Amino acid sequence: MCSLQEIQQRLREVIRMCGLTQKELAKEIGVSPQTVSKYMCENVFPALDTFAKICKILDVKSDYVLGISHY
């Protein structure tokens, strides 16, 4: 499994690839844009249910974001 920094890098990567802004993603998962920013840049990891929503919206496997498998 990856470090938190590597997970955040993967999150940033998949968000860019899907074309959503942080604001749009925040609205989709029911949090503030500042919270999404914290998930991406600070030592904050989303709750498991929120993480599952993020993966579903971005159409990415959680294993990839966590560094368990390749994209």
- The per-residue pLDDT for range 3-19, each reduced to its tens digit, is 888 988 998 899 889 98
Domain ranges of the chain: 4-65
Helix and strand element counts for the chain (H, E): 5, 0
- Indicate the fold that domain 4-65 takes in CATH: 434 Repressor (Amino-terminal Domain) (1.10.260)
Q: Distance between CA 2 and CA 23 in Å, rounded?
A: 26
- The per-residue pLDDT for range 39-53, each reduced to its tens digit, is 888 888 899 999 999
Q: Residue 70's pLDDT is what?
A: 72
pLDDT band for position 71 (50/70/90)? Answer: low
